[in-house]
């Protein structure tokens, strides 16, 4: 590096990094974890994990940061909705990312995007060590993700595009970052499920802003250009372990607060008024039974879970929409169709716990056949399901 051994510069880099990072104390950023969503149907589920741009420096909401911008960019490309879980930490490295990924139960994701290289560049991590770290990371992802699920390693952004590192030593560090990016690209090229995503400098934000939403939109477009075509090829499945809910997951929705229960009631009434029918409900599964947390219109007092519409929703990727159950081979002999309940039309969408387990459904139904605009119905029910989830765990 400009005639000076890399090892000799490491102590200098540590002091330089420490002095510059003190300025970050005054830069706004959102919380370390969150969920962001883009509107639509048949949602892809993506995990965004890392440091650097994943953190959201300069903005106060992940909706404005990389997660939200990426969700919208992917939807614009695929035509599908996107749910992105974000786990970000300025101090994250490859080792901590591996521990977090294993705790995050990555089998439920359709893709994983990692931005873990900035600290390696700032610390002047050697190329051989970086190669070993990445090889271990990709090995863990290949083992822990569903077969065929792609993962994406986002390149280290130009170091001097980070305002606090925009000085002459930052230029030296950027030379090293370019070399680490070369290592990353080679490691990814040897793994058919791994994809390297090169990143360029975003337009500078107007002073005194550290960074604004336009920078994240810039990066999101670059990432989505590589991620979206791969998501189109993913076999979207709901792992079996997420279609059965644990007591801990269900307890998240065991709210006693009258204000929260009133919000559930309001959401269910909105479903009925928007989509029509004679009944609507938010129900959770407890001990193989269905417990109604909110109702509107005419709703049966008791429904068995086994063989029910609710069970079918829990196992579906997105919405379950049935215009006439009496002519649908999946349900025409169902007791809820031929019995006293006599459901003919039904539409439902799964509600999830914080850890991704499907604990219940929001649904509308009625005793007469009803043609559905399936795209509109799924979009509405998904937004209402997300609203229920936000009620019990606001960001």
User: Which residue ranges make up each domain of the chain?
Assistant: 6-231, 240-392
Does residue 138 or residue 298 have the better pLDDT?
138
Whether pLDDT at 333 is above 90: no
Average pLDDT over residues 157-161: 95
Q: Which CATH number fits domain 6-231: 1.10.3470.10, 3.30.70.250, 3.40.50.1110, 3.90.1150.10?
A: 3.40.50.1110
Residue 355: the pLDDT is: 78
How confident is the model at residue 243, as a pLDDT?
52
Q: What is the pLDDT of residue 309?
A: 84
**Lowest-confidence segment of 94-108, 114-128, 143-157, 277-291 by average pLDDT:** 277-291
Give, for 267, the enclosing helix (H) or strand (E): helix 258-275
**214 contact partners, CB below 8 Å, separation of at least 6:** 202, 203, 205
pLDDT at 372: 73
pLDDT given at position 4: 55
Chain center to CA of 58: 21
In this prediction the pTM is 0.86
Closest by alpha carbon to 94, among 66, 42, 130, 44? 130
Beta pairing, strands 82-88 & 111-115: unpaired
Kindly give, in sequence order, each residue whose CB lies less than 8 Å from that of residue 227, ignoring residues fewer than 6 positions away: 46, 70, 74, 111, 113, 150, 152, 195, 197
Q: What is the pLDDT of residue 219?
A: 97
Residues 6 or more apart in contact with residue 135 via CB below 8 angstroms: 187
Instruction: Please tell me the distance from the alpha carbon of residue 248 to that of residue 239, in angstroms, as a whole number.
Output: 18
DSSP codes joined into one string, 106-120: GGG-SEEEEE--HHH
Output the DSSP codes for 180-238: HHHHHHHHHHTSTTEEEE---PPPPPPTT-S--HHHHHHHHHHHHHHHHHHHTT-----
CA 113 to chain centre: 10
Number of helical H runs and strand E runs in the chain: 12, 11
Q: Are 138 and 149 in contact (CB under 8 A)?
A: no
For residue 13, give the H/E element and its range. helix 6-21
Q: What is the pLDDT of residue 238?
A: 60
What is d(CA 223, CA 200) in angstroms, rounded to the nearest whole number? 11
CATH code linked to domain 240-392: 3.30.450.40
- Strand-pairing partners, residue 281, are 295, 363
| CA gap 321, 330 in Å, rounded | 12
For residue 370, the model assigns a pLDDT of 86
- Is 309 within 8 Å of 322 (Cβ atoms)? yes
Is the confidence at residue 265, as pLDDT, over 50? yes
DSSP bridge partners of 34: 86
Residue 34 DSSP code: E
Q: What pLDDT, on a 0 to 100 scale, did the predictor assign at position 181?
A: 97
- Residue scoring higher pLDDT (291 or 14): 14
Please tell me the predicted confidence (pLDDT) of residue 3.
42
The reported pLDDT for the residue numbered 120 is: 96
Q: Provide the pLDDT for residue 1.
A: 47
Cα(177)–Cα(378) distance, rounded to whole angstroms? 44
Q: Kindly state the average pLDDT of the residues 285-293.
A: 80
Name the average pLDDT for the chain: 88
pLDDT at residue number 249: 58
Per-residue pLDDT at 384 exceeds 80:
yes
The region that residue 139 occupies, defined by phi over 0 for left and psi between -120 and 50 for alpha, beta otherwise, is alpha
Q: Which has more pLDDT, 47 or 342?
A: 47
Query: Is residue 233 packed enough to be buried (19+ CB in 10 Å), middle (13-18) or exposed (0-12)?
Result: exposed
d(CA 322, CA 118): 49
**Confidence band (pLDDT; 50, 70, 90) for 266?**
very high
pLDDT of 358 > 50? The answer is: yes
Mean pLDDT of 62-70: 96
Per DSSP, the residues of 269-299 read HHHHHHH-SSEEEEEEEETTEEEEEEEEES-
At 352, is the secondary structure helix, strand, or coil?
strand
Residues 6+ apart with CB under 8 A from 153: 114, 116, 117, 134, 184, 187, 188, 194, 195, 196, 197
- β-strand partners of 83: 37, 45
């Amino acid at each position: 590096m400009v005639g000076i051994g890399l090892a000799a510069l490491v102590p200098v880099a540590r002091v330089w990094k420490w002095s510059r990072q003190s300025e970050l104390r005054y830069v706004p950023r959102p919380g370390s974890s969150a969920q962001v969503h883009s509107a639509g149907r048949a949602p892809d589920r993506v995990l965004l994990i890392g440091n650097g741009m994943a953190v959201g420096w300069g903005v106060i909401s992940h909706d404005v940061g990389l997660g939200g911008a990426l969700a919208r960019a992917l939807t614009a490309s695929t035509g599908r909705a996107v749910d992105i879980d974000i786990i970000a930490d300025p101090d994250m490295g490859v080792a901590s990312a591996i521990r977090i990924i294993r705790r995050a139960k990555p089998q439920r994701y359709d893709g994983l995007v990692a931005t873990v290289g900035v600290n390696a560049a700032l610390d002047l991590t050697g190329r051989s060590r970086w190669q070993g770290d990445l090889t271990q990371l990709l090995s863990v992802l290949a083992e822990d993700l569903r077969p065929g699920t792609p993962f994406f390693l986002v390149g280290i952004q130009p170091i001097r595009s980070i305002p606090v590192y925009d000085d002459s030593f930052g230029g030296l560090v950027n030379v090293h970052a370019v070399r680490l990016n070369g290592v990353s690209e080679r490691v990814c090229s040897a793994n058919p499920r791994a994809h390297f995503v090169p990143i360029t400098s975003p337009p500078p934000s107007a002073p005194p802003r550290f960074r604004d939403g336009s920078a994240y939109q810039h990066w999101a477009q670059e990432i989505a250009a590589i991620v979206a075509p791969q998501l189109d090829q993913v076999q979207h499945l709901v792992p079996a372990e997420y279609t059965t809910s644990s007591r801990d997951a269900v307890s998240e929705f065991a709210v006693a607060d009258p204000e929260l229960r009133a919000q559930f009631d309001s959401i269910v009434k909105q479903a009925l008024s928007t989509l029509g029918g004679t009944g609507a409900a938010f129900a959770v599964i407890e001990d193989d039974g269905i417990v109604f947390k909110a109702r509107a219109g005419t709703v049966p007092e008791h429904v068995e879970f086994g063989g029910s519409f609710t069970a079918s929703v829990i196992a579906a990727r997105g919405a379950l929409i049935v215009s006439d159950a009496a002519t649908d081979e999946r349900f025409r002999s169902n007791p809820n169709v031929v019995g006293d309940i006599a459901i003919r039309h039904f539409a439902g969408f799964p509600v999830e716990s914080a850890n991704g387990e499907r604990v219940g459904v929001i649904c509308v139904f009625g005793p007469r056949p009803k043609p559905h605009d399936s795209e509109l119905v799924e979009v509405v029910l998904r937004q209402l399901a997300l609203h229920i989830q936000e009620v019990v765990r606001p960001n």
